[in-house]
Structure 1
Amino acid sequence: MNAARPSNPPAATTPVSYPVTTRAFGLAIVVLGALQLMVVLDGTVANLALARLQDDLGLSSAGGKWVITSYALAYGGLMLLGGRIGDAFGRKRMFITGVAVFTLSSMLCGLALNEPMLLVARTLQGVGAAIASPTALALVATTFAPGKVRNQAIAIFAAMTGIGSVAGLIIGGALTEVSWRWIFLINVPIGVLIVSLAFKALAESEDARRLSLDVPGAILATLGCTSLVYGLMEGTELGWADGTVIGALVLGIMLLAVFLRVEVRAEHPLLPFDLFTDRDRVATFVSIFFAGAVTMCMAVFVALFVQDILGYAPLRAGLSFVPFAFGLGVAAQVASKLALRVQARWLIAAGSVLMVAGFLFGSTLDGSAGYWADLFGPIVVIGFGVGLAVVPLPLCAITGVGSDEIGPLAAIATVAQTLGGPIGLAVIGAMASSRTLSLGGTTGGNASSMNPAQLAALGHGYTFALVGCAVAAAISGLVALFIRFTPQQIADAQAAQEAANAGL
């Protein structure tokens, strides 16, 4: 009988080295945070420039909305693929590539001579953001050591999202006072600086691996959504019986059907269907989708209303949104505590009720509305309602799953919210345009050159869009009633999310 061989000692685990181990604030977080701030800014900064854009370039009503939509569709449709590309080819390399694309396309936006050039450049901006933004978040995890340092970095990175949402309105308003072109051109020196510093501040990820990327899925999803949105937006301009409109709608449905078939067979699908077996999670994603529609449509149509109908300058229009951010921030703090005691569905439903009430009141306003008497209250109430919903919904998306699934589910939730905006804008925008045209108004041209009857019709169209926002908010709240997660499950999800963020 042979003597037993001595067992080999286990192979030593190679320690993971992190470039930043002592304090988060430094060149690396400045680079990553600046990118996140710039990307979020560009999601909102164009809202207050729409009126000037339409005047200067002669954009149609649909063309003006495409300035917002083209960026959001490319950003949301390609975001999941953008994260995978960073994993496959190196996060630092793809981060720099994404920022470079974003910067170049920003310059093209600022130099745009006509509508097609602007829309193509805005789409390229979305592509650059879709590559750079998810890669930046992954770089936070690989650059900063687990524990206090990484927590600080994540807090700074996350704060850029909140700051960017509000600052985008104020900065966009201020720059538009000079020229709408500067809302894009300001990105150029910032982007060049980010790229220059990134070479020195960031380290290349060591775990890059060749993955079978689901490029067909990403292309099909983006083109399908774009085709549907095109059909919905152009329907009011060309007529719903127009062959182009019908063809776009049919093509969009067909492309999305093919997308679902591709996802079933893909080795690394962008949309893993096994994550949708839970009814509560499906309801969460649907609620998030409609919440995304509410926030984008509200920002667009309120900005147009206060400028075109009430005559606000862009900077004043941007400052008028500040109470919204205040209401949202207060409600978010309240919701984060109540979520541990009250079922998430009741918080989301309560937020939806507040939003519906605010939107329905806003839909009754006209050109005689005053800010403090008529706008301030609804803006704060709607902001508070949004805040009650935005805290529980992302937590519901990751409730009851392992730490390895938190990232993909959080990414899908972000995509649902991002795509909800342009699709909702297409539907609600069609409602608004139809209302304006039915009252004898026009949806294109300079508002300042319209006669009183046309201006009144345009205003009724904008306020009717708030009825559409109320419907979307109501759907989000009603669907949320099917989410059955308990406060304890939400608390566990919150702890799991914090642990995943801290790399524990």
Structure 2
Amino acid sequence: MTHPHLEARHEALPHPRRWSALALLCAAQFMLILDVTVINVALPGIGSALRLDRAWLTWAVTSYTLCFGALMLLGGRLGDVYGSRRILLTGLSVFVIASLVTGLAANGPILLGGRLAQGTGAALLSPSALATITRLFHGPERNKALGVWAALGGAGFAAGALLGGVLTAGPGWRWVFFINVPVGLAVLALLPRMVAAAPPAHARRVDLPGAILVTASTAAVIYGLVNAGDAGWGSAATLLALGAALVGYAAFGLVERKSAAALMNVRILARPPVAAGAFLMLIGTALLLAMIFLGSLFLQRVQGLPALVTGVLFLPVALVSGVAGHVAGHLIGRHGARGAAFTGLLLAAAGATLPALLDDTAWIIIGLAIGSGGVVLALVAATTTALGFISHQEAGLASGIVNTFHEVGGSIGVAVVSTVAATGIENGSPAGFGAAYATAAVAATMAALICLVMVPAGKAHLPDGVHVH
């Protein structure tokens, strides 16, 4: 019989292939993050090839982040119930097949269906991949592994526009999606050899009604916002969609309060730090993706720049974002999250104001660089606010909630600015773009003032083993 102390020592031994497994998991996660922004530079090519109007192009972006965000908590719960490796590989399989279908799309419905399936696969994959990393690594090594994982978020967003330009100008826009297939198949082939299946938790119910309600409600919000660009804010369809979303969210709250296997403990959103972090994550991601979306379309459709040039022009935006992420950690460590959030959102407002007033290419890129750098400050502040002022026991739940707001915020931001700039996007003219950037600037300024009230003063401490991308 094996001595219990020897058993415990054996379980504590590091996994022999943990770093190789981490590389594969990071490659998979990088694809998911990349697909949030890689499509933006390809949008004009997609629109021309498939004859899609503004609404279809907007949904091509938002449908992915909609499913990614709204179903992420469900993906995490399924990993707990059925085993993280099984759900991880299932999600990756769905994502690879969906990428192939999206790349082969011959019309708008197939493209949209593929993007929805990509988002669903991402929602299954991402939380289970993170759970696998926390199982493979322990002690200081876990913090290093999670640091690598966290860096993928900024790198993926930044690389998306550049890679999208390179692929669109080279083999064509379809390779924005095809590129995922060989990478995904390689991970599918190698990962099962490196990561053993973990025993699932005790059987629990899965909150499908909650998942359906939150996804449908968010879809209704985005539909209402996109539809307003064509039918108007006072149209019956727009008001009905937004009203249905409010009813759906209220029903979701009631279901979650009564469910024995709730996706989200809605009571934790009443905690001021979590509410502030979720708000900052929502507005920050909305601003970031909105500015990238507008910039990509304006540079190509209005100014007539090639996809490759547009992608290269986003390189300064990527560099500034990377520097801002490094600075944010030191700034928040010394002065707390409130000042960083306020400063970051004011910079985002300034960055959006430049292209609102000046439509020269250089000023657009400068504005986007300033704005994205500011948003990164706000996003880091969101993480430390939501997780640094609550107990370690609640950190995992808060992390899942904030991650959800991260993805959903991008969908809402793109939908809003697409509606404001509807005329210019449809006609390839500057009309509406200035107003859309001005809308982003006003939203950032208002959010900066709100965060002075919502974000707690003082220094927060991010719990070990917790990640928000």
Which interval holds the TM-score relative to the shorter structure? over 0.9
CA distance in 2, matches of 1:92, 1:378: 42
Q: Which residue of 1 aligns with 2:430?
A: 459
| 1:440-491 Cα deviation digits (max 9, x unpaired) | x6x53xxxxxxxxx54xx3232232111211221232122111353434x1x
1:294 and 2:287 aligned: yes
Aligned counterpart for 2:157 among listed residues 161, 165, 172: 165
- The letter of the residue matching 1:429 is S
Whether the aligned pair in 1 keeps the contact of 2:44 and 2:301 (CA below 8 Å) is yes
Matches within 5 A, 1:147-296: 147-177=139-169, 178-240=171-233, 242-296=235-289
- The letter of the residue matching 2:439 is G
| 1:90-125 Cα deviation digits (max 9, x unpaired) | 111111000000000001101111101110110000
Classify the secondary structure of the residue corresponding to 1:340: helix
CA distance in 2, matches of 1:221, 1:500: 24
CA distance in 2, matches of 1:464, 1:142: 48
Q: CA deviation at 1:37?
A: 0.7
Structure 1 pair 328/82, CA: closer, same or farther in 2 (3 Å)?
A: same
CA distance in 1, matches of 2:67, 2:329: 31
| 1:38-61 Cα deviation digits (max 9, x unpaired) | 101111110111111111111111
Q: Which residue of 2 aligns with 1:25?
A: 19
CA distance in 2, matches of 1:351, 1:242: 36
Structure 1 pair 18/170, CA: closer, same or farther in 2 (3 Å)?
A: farther
Classify the secondary structure of the residue corresponding to 1:421: helix
CA distance in 1, matches of 2:88, 2:57: 30
| 1:11-62 Cα deviation digits (max 9, x unpaired) | 8796272684468532x11221111111011111101111111111111111
Classify the secondary structure of the residue corresponding to 1:269: coil
Aligned counterpart for 1:354 among listed residues 347, 351, 354: 347
Cα RMSD of the aligned pairs, angstroms, is 2.2
CA distance in 2, matches of 1:264, 1:219: 16
CA distance in 2, matches of 1:190, 1:18: 32
| 1:148-193 Cα deviation digits (max 9, x unpaired) | 4323322332232232222222111111113111111111111111
Structure 1 pair 19/237, CA: closer, same or farther in 2 (3 Å)?
A: farther
1:303 and 2:292 aligned: no
Q: CA deviation at 1:348?
A: 1.0
CA distance in 1, matches of 2:239, 2:84: 41
Whether the aligned pair in 2 keeps the contact of 1:287 and 1:479 (CA below 8 Å) is no
Larger-Rg structure = 1
1:407 and 2:373 aligned: no
1:343 and 2:336 aligned: yes
- The letter of the residue matching 2:320 is G
Q: Which residue of 2 aligns with 1:3?
A: none
CA distance in 1, matches of 2:364, 2:394: 42
CA distance in 2, matches of 1:279, 1:154: 26
406-415 vs 124-133, greater mean Cα deviation: 406-415
- The letter of the residue matching 1:274 is R
Name stretches of at least 5 consecutive residues in structure 2 with no aligned partner: none
Q: CA deviation at 1:135?
A: 0.5
1:387 and 2:376 aligned: yes
Classify the secondary structure of the residue corresponding to 2:453: coil
Structure 1 pair 13/87, CA: closer, same or farther in 2 (3 Å)?
A: farther
Structure 1 pair 52/258, CA: closer, same or farther in 2 (3 Å)?
A: same
CA distance in 2, matches of 1:499, 1:92: 19
Aligned counterpart for 2:420 among listed residues 425, 431, 438: 431
Q: Which residue of 2 aligns with 1:417?
A: 406
- The letter of the residue matching 2:173 is W
Q: Which residue of 2 aligns with 1:132?
A: 125
Aligned counterpart for 2:440 among listed residues 450, 463, 469: 469
Structure 1 pair 176/239, CA: closer, same or farther in 2 (3 Å)?
A: same
Structure 1 pair 69/341, CA: closer, same or farther in 2 (3 Å)?
A: same
- The letter of the residue matching 1:477 is A
Name stretches of at least 5 consecutive residues in structure 1 with no aligned partner: 1-10, 445-453
Q: Which residue of 1 aligns with 2:43?
A: 50
Structure 1 pair 482/246, CA: closer, same or farther in 2 (3 Å)?
A: closer
Q: Which residue of 2 aligns with 1:498?
A: 464
Percent identity between matched residues is 34
TM-score computed with the length of structure 1 as normaliser: 0.87
Q: CA deviation at 1:241?
A: 5.3
CA distance in 1, matches of 2:261, 2:450: 29
Q: Which residue of 2 aligns with 1:447?
A: none
- The letter of the residue matching 1:141 is T
Count of residues in Structure 1 that have an aligned counterpart in Structure 2: 463
Q: Which residue of 1 aligns with 2:71?
A: 78
Q: CA deviation at 1:411?
A: 1.5
Whether the aligned pair in 2 keeps the contact of 1:347 and 1:392 (CA below 8 Å) is yes
Structure 1 pair 160/248, CA: closer, same or farther in 2 (3 Å)?
A: same
Structure 1 pair 83/483, CA: closer, same or farther in 2 (3 Å)?
A: same
Whether the aligned pair in 2 keeps the contact of 1:31 and 1:201 (CA below 8 Å) is no
CA distance in 2, matches of 1:404, 1:12: 27
Whether the aligned pair in 2 keeps the contact of 1:284 and 1:480 (CA below 8 Å) is no
Classify the secondary structure of the residue corresponding to 1:363: helix
Q: Which residue of 2 aligns with 1:312?
A: 305
| 1:381-432 Cα deviation digits (max 9, x unpaired) | 2233123222222010012322221111111111112111112222222222
Q: Which residue of 1 aligns with 2:321?
A: 328
Matches within 5 A, 1:92-111: 92-111=85-104
Whether the aligned pair in 2 keeps the contact of 1:235 and 1:245 (CA below 8 Å) is yes
Q: Which residue of 1 aligns with 2:107?
A: 114
Whether the aligned pair in 2 keeps the contact of 1:24 and 1:153 (CA below 8 Å) is no
TM-score computed with the length of structure 2 as normaliser: 0.93
